[in-house]
Amino acid sequence: MVGAVNGQGMGEDTPVSFDLKRQSVRELNQFLHGTLQGVKEVRVENPDGAHNLAVGLNGPIRVQIAGHAGYYAAGMNKDATIVVHGNAGPGVAENMMSGRVEVAGFASGGAGASARGGVLIIRGDAGLRCGISLKGADIVVGGSVGSFSAFMAQAGRMLICNDAGDGLGDSLYEAVIYVRGKIRSFGADAQIEPMTAADYEAVRELLDVGGLSHSYRDFKRVASAKTLYHWNADANQSY
């Protein structure tokens, strides 16, 4: 930690910095779980792809990760704003409850898995299973998403500014996906639906959240056909 010792004596605007070349992820997370004493921003230097950076945060702090992050960066975030100034490994912002997580580069598999609230912004592409099991969060992807994205997504919104891979939205529940580019194939029960005024409004809002300049008119709506909501003897191969 640079500029502070054990979380004491820090003024409102004193930036706190952790250098993971010299300090451990444990020390970082322990500090972030502490009382914080008015600290508003923490910088993480030399993350070098370390796993579990800034996980389980529980307050409106801002964390800047100055490089690549490994698995589960910003996992289970609540209220915090976490920016990864690089790429993020699997499960970035998994089970996020609220707050904002931004990845400047690419995100690996399972980005935003099971996230229940808040917003995840990925400037580059996201890998396989982006938004799997999504439960209410918004995910904005500046690039494309890999196959099996939004698998079993239950609630929330995904905005995909380029293309989607195979099996998009397999077994969707109430989550809605907006895609600007090509969709290689749909998963079971996912379908294109007409855009309504509310959908255009949602796309504008999500573009705005991500600071993106695409036209909201270029997006298609993908949602559940709801044929898997109830047991259906004739569809048993779908289960």
Partner 1 sequence: MSTTDSEPTAGMLPPDPYLEESALFNRQIIRYVQRAAATGLYEIRGLGAKRNLPHFDDLVFLGASLSRYPLEGYREKCSAETILGTRHARRPVRLAMPITIAGMSFGALSANVKEALGRAATELGTSTTTGDGGMTPEERESSKTLVYQCLPSRYGFDPDDVRKADAIEVVIGQGAKPGGGGMLLGQKVSPRVAAMRTLPAGVDQRSASRHPDWTGPDDLAIKIKELREITDWQIPIYVKVGATRVFHDVKLAVHAGADVIVVDGMQGGTAATQWAFIEHIGIPTLAAVRQAVDALEDMNKKEEVQLIVSGGIRTGADVAKALALGADAVSIGQGVLLALGCNGESFVQEGRHVSATADYHKLGTAPGYCHHCQTGRCPVGVTTQDPVLEQRLEPAVGAVRVRNYLKTLNMELTMIARACGKQDVHHLEREDLAALTIEAAAMAGIPLAGTSWIPGRS
Q: Which residues bind partner 1 (CB under 8 A)?
A: 25-26, 29-30, 33, 51-52, 55-56, 58, 70-72, 75-76, 78, 90-91, 94-95, 97, 110, 113-114, 116, 129, 132-133, 135-136, 151-152, 154-155, 171, 173-174, 228-231, 233-234, 236, 239
Say how many C-beta atoms besides its own lie within 10 A of residue 30's C-beta. Answer: 11
Closest approach of partner 1 to the CB of residue 136, in Å? 6
- To partner 1, the closest distance from the beta carbon of 187 in angstroms equals 13
Backbone angles phi, psi at 182, to 5 degrees: -85, 150
Whose Cβ is closer to partner 1: residue 96's or residue 203's? Answer: 96
Tell me the C-alpha to C-alpha distance, in Å, between residue 237 and each of 80, 118, 191, 233, 234: 42, 35, 18, 9, 8
CA distances from 133 to 10, 139, 183 (A): 40, 12, 19
Contact 195, 179 (CB under 8 A): no
Nearer to partner 1, 119 or 207 (CB): 119
Least distance in Å: CB of 230 to partner 1?
5
Question: Which residues lie across from 64 on neighbouring strands?
Answer: 43, 83
Question: Rounded to the nearest whole angstrom, what is the least distance from the CB of residue 224 to partner 1 in the complex?
Answer: 10
> How near is the Cβ of 46 to partner 1 at its closest, in Å?
18
Cβ atoms 160, 182 nearer than 8 A: no
Q: Classify residue 60 by its DSSP letter.
A: S
Pick the closer one to partner 1 by CB: 103 or 207. Answer: 103
Q: Are strands 220-224 and 176-179 parallel, antiparallel or unpaired?
A: antiparallel
Residue among 115 and 207 whose Cβ is closer to partner 1? 115
Query: Smallest gap, in angstroms, from Cβ of residue 238 to partner 1?
Result: 10
CA distance readout (Å), 103 to 9, 37, 191: 31, 27, 29
* CA-to-CA separations, 147 to 79, 128, 161, 164, in angstroms, rounded: 30, 5, 15, 7
Q: Minimum CB separation from partner 1 for residue 56, in Å? A: 3
Nearer to partner 1, 156 or 207 (CB): 156
Q: How many other β-carbons are positioned within 10 Å of the β-carbon of residue 144?
A: 22
| Of 217 and 226, CB closest to partner 1 | 226
Closer by beta carbon to partner 1, 27 or else 218: 27
**Which DSSP symbol is given to 25?**
H
